[in-house]
Amino acid sequence: MVTLRETPPGRPGPQRVMRRIGLWGAPGSGKTSFLAALNVAVTQSRQDWALVGVNDDSVAFLTESTSALTDRRRFPRATESMAELSWVMMSESEVRTGGRWRKEIVKVPLQFHVDLLDAPGDNFKSEARTDDDAATLKDLGFDEDESGDESRSDTERLIDNLAACDGIVYLYDPVREKEKGDAYKYFQGTLAQIARRALQDRRFDGPHLPHHLAVCITKFDEPRVYETANRRGYLTVDVDDDHMFPRVHEDNAEDLFEDLCKVSPTGSAALVRKSIKRYFHDSRVRYFATSSVGFYLGKAVRFRAADYQNVVPDGHGGHKIRGAVYPINVLEPLLWLGQQLAGPTTY
Ligand SMILES: Nc1nc2c(ncn2[C@@H]2O[C@H](COP(=O)(O)OP(=O)(O)OP(=O)(O)O)[C@@H](O)[C@H]2O)c(=O)[nH]1
Ligand SMILES: [Mg+2]
C-alpha cells in the first residue's frame, strides 16, 4: 500500500476514496492504449497528480506501456489475457475547516484507487446464459443473444468486477462502429449482467443502475472523428493550453456521440445510446471526446489543422505513432469519476 504524507495534528486527515473504477469496451476500442496514456496524461497535467502502482504488475504496466507509446511510438498489442491493475491517484485538495467563527482552508492529501481489469474486449460479447439468467434478463426487458462461452470464467470475473465498481469508463470506438456496426453486441450482454447483479444486491436506484458512467468517444484524433466534430462546430480550445489542441467541449460531447451514432451502418450505436439513457441516471453520465495519443505537433509549437494526424499506417498492416503523445481527455474522465465518488469536500 502507499504511505501517505502525515497531516498535522488537529487537521483533517487524507480524503481516501476507496472507490473502484472499471473499464469496458469492445475489442480494439482502445482500452489498453487509454491506460498506457494515463501516465503521460498525469505527467502533462497542470494539476499536481501522481499515479502510483500498488503492486509489481501494476508498476510494470505503467513503465512498459508508457515507454512503448512515448519511446517506441507503438500501440500496445491486442490484450490476450486479463491483467489486474491497481493504482492510486494522489493529489491535494483544499478543505474548509473550523467552526462558526474561525474558518480556515487547509490542503489535505486526496487519493483515489483505480482498480481495474484490462481484459480482451471479446469478454464483453453477449453470451449464452443459464435458464435462470435468461428468466431474470427477460424480466428486465433484455433480449438474449446466442454465442459461445469458451472464456466463461474470465468473463464472469470481469463482469463481477465491473458490477461491483462505483464508476465505469466505457470506451466507444466510432471508427470500429462505422466499419463493423457491432457496439451494441459488446454492450447489451455486459449491461444485462451488471443489471442482474445490481438487482440481486438490491443496488438499483429506482429504474437506474447505481454506477457513474464516463462515456469516452475514443480516437478523437482520427480524421473521421475530428472532422465530424469540426463540421458540427463542437471544437474548442483550452485557453491555458500552450499547444492549442482542439477539444470537444463537455457540453457538446454527447451531441458528438449522437452524430456519430447516425453513421453506424447497423444502427447498433443508437441502441447503446438508448440503453445508457434508460439504465443510467442522467446526472451520473458524462461524455468525453478522448484520444490516447492526441494530435501531431512535430516541431511546431501549436496545433496545425493542415497536418494533425498522429497515427499513420506502419506499412505492415498496423499503425504507428508519428510524434510525441499528447493524450486528450484521458485523465479527465477518471478525475470526474473520482470527484463524483468522493462526495462533499467540506469538513
Ligand atoms: N487514432 C487512434 N488510434 C488508436 C487510439 N487508441 C488506440 N488506437 C488504435 O486502436 C488499436 C487498438 O487499441 P487497444 O488499446 O489495443 O484496444 P483494446 O480495447 O485494448 O483492444 P483489445 O485488448 O483487443 O480488447 C490500436 O492498435 C491503435 O491502432 C487513439 O487514441 N487514436
Ligand atoms: Mg487491450
Nearest CA to ligand 1 atom 8: 30
Q: Is 236 helix (H, G, I), strand (E, B) or coil?
A: strand
Task: State the residue for C-alpha cell 492504449.
Answer: 33
Which residues lie below 8 Å from residue 15, measured CB to CB, with a gap of 6+? 93, 95, 108, 109, 110, 111, 342, 345
Q: Quick one: average pLDDT of 303-318?
A: 95
Which percentage of the chain shows pLDDT scores above 90? 66
- What is the rounded radius of gyration, in angstroms, for the C-alpha atoms of the chain? 21
Q: Is residue 153 over pLDDT 90?
A: no
Phi, psi for residue 289 in degrees, rounded to 5: -95, 115
Q: Which long-range contacts (CB under 8 A, 24 or more apart) does 92-101 make?
A: 92/48, 93/15, 93/345, 94/345, 95/12, 95/15, 95/345, 95/346, 95/347, 96/346, 96/347, 97/11, 97/12, 97/347
Order the strands of the 285-289 sheet from edge to edge: 21-25, 167-172, 212-217, 285-289
Query: Can you tell me the distance from the alpha carbon of 345 to that of 203, in angstroms, rounded to the nearest whole number?
Result: 25
Compute, in angstroms, the gap from residue 122 CA to the centroid of ligand 2: 10
Cβ atoms of residues 208 and 180 within 8 Å: no
Of 327 and 147, more confident: 327
Domain edges within the chain = 15-342
**Which of 182, 336, 142, 173 lies closest to 265 in space, CA to CA?**
182
Which residues lie below 8 Å from residue 304, measured CB to CB, with a gap of 6+? none
Compute, in angstroms, the gap from residue 33 CA to the centroid of ligand 1: 6
Q: Is residue 9 over pLDDT 80?
A: no
Nearest CA to ligand 1 atom 3: 219
Q: Is residue 176 over pLDDT 70?
A: yes
Q: Which long-range contacts (CB under 8 A, 24 or more apart) does 153-158 make?
A: 154/81, 154/82, 154/119, 154/123, 155/123, 155/127, 157/82, 157/117, 158/82, 158/117, 158/119, 158/123, 158/124
pLDDT of residue 20: 80
Q: Is 62 helix (H, G, I), strand (E, B) or coil?
A: helix
- Cell numbers found for residue 188: 447489451
Compute, in angstroms, the gap from residue 120 CA to the centroid of ligand 2: 5
Q: Is residue 151 over pLDDT 60?
A: no
Could you read off the pLDDT of 26-76 as tens digits, one per residue?
999 999 999 999 999 999 998 889 999 999 999 999 999 999 999 999 999
Of 213 and 148, more confident: 213
pLDDT of residue 128: 41
Taking the CA of 120 as reference, the closest ligand is 1
Q: Quick one: average pLDDT of 120-131?
A: 72
Model confidence at 141, pLDDT cuts 50, 70, 90, reads low
Model confidence at 148, pLDDT cuts 50, 70, 90, reads very low
| Pocket of ligand 1, beta carbon within 6 A | 25, 27-33, 75-76, 78-79, 120-121, 218-219, 221-222, 291-293, 311, 319
Could you read off the pLDDT of 281-302 as tens digits, one per residue?
999 999 999 999 999 999 999 9
Which ranges of 145-244 does DSSP label H, i.e. alpha helix? 152-164, 174-180, 185-200, 223-231
Compute, in angstroms, the gap from residue 24 CA to the centroid of ligand 2: 10
CATH class of the 15-342 domain in this structure: alpha beta
Taking the CA of 36 as reference, the closest ligand is 1
Between 11-15, 77-81, 88-92, 197-201, the lowest mean confidence (pLDDT) is in 11-15
